[in-house]
Structure 1
Amino acid sequence: MTAATLETRKNRTALLAFGGALAMLGLGYAAVPLYELFCQVTGFGGTTQRASESDAATAERLAASAGGRTISIRFDGTTAGDVPWSFRPEQVTDTVTIGQRDMAIYLAKNNSDETITGTATFNVEPEQAGAYFNKIQCFCFTEQVLEPGQEVRMPVLYFVDPKALDDPNMEGVEQITLSYTFHRALDSAE
């Protein structure tokens, strides 16, 4: 093997290794948005669905076939350690008719002497219910800014899709828990 051939092979190997490293870096950056998209589409990990008013109207029409069946919804609210807020649901449980829109109210108060921007992450348990728990409007869709001492009421407009009644994985589910945790938004970090 000549020196020129050996040098060409070394350069090709180095170029392939560099290309592979760039591809892995790109996949690393794309992993989070792709995973979030997967969870939103499938309801994986208890990720709730985002619905429109027309989706809610369709669910209400389908609710007639559900025969007025109801399900218990439990609400939970916490904050991360760096968020000095009080945050809780106004009502801990509610019984809702499957397919009908309902509203939950969460209360938040900034207990600090500084303005804090928070963002809420959410989850539904049991996990299989995430695909059927639809939020039409939610404080979790945007960042929330609370001035020192400010107290706010934050609504969540939601419905449970009647298709849940046809899913064998939902058989025996009598209660769905909707949990929120407020975190300090990145632009609000100390």
Structure 2
Amino acid sequence: MGFLHRFLAFLRDKMASPVVTSQPPQVFLTELQERVQVDAKTLKFCYDRLSSLLKTLEITNTDEFTPIQLVADFATLVGTYAKGFAIIMEPYDERLPQVPDPVLQLSCLDASLAMKPVFSNSSTLSPIDLYPRILNFNPVAIQSFQMTLTRDCLCPVVVTRGADQMPMSTKFEMRGDRA
């Protein structure tokens, strides 16, 4: 709990800034280490340790602990992900700049990190040679097949009103109605 208290004090100081800031996690973690002696390895296990504490204390109604769980989750993410992310702090909503409403978020700046698990299990990407270049990954196996769509395709039409602007329906009761 002392660790979380120090981490919250650090976050409170960061969110007191009147300007929007963006910094890589490495800078955030260095500043955290210097000011409150908390390192990245400790942050990685923050959420697990809080969950373990709540289970040990046999707390069943965890709804009142949601705010501290969100902070612990944020700490775990910051401690785990360093490359391709940025920590963005916005001190207020642009619509109401005179009202303090700070938002602290960890933003992914590299789509290849999020897409890597998707592409490792996918086999229907086309054009296949484009994705490795765009998303910066090396495919394990790559195969491309020539495909043609020579058959006639159906083009469905949805009609809700007739020429006289009366509603149309396929209900059995309305089949005898000329309108």
- Identify the TM-score tier after normalising by the shorter chain: under 0.3
Higher relative contact order (CA 8 A, sep 6+): 1
Between structures 1 and 2, the one with greater strand share: 1
Q: TM-score, normalised by structure 1?
A: 0.20
TM-score computed with the length of structure 2 as normaliser:
0.21
**Higher share in helix:** 2
Q: Which protein shows a greater Rg?
A: 2
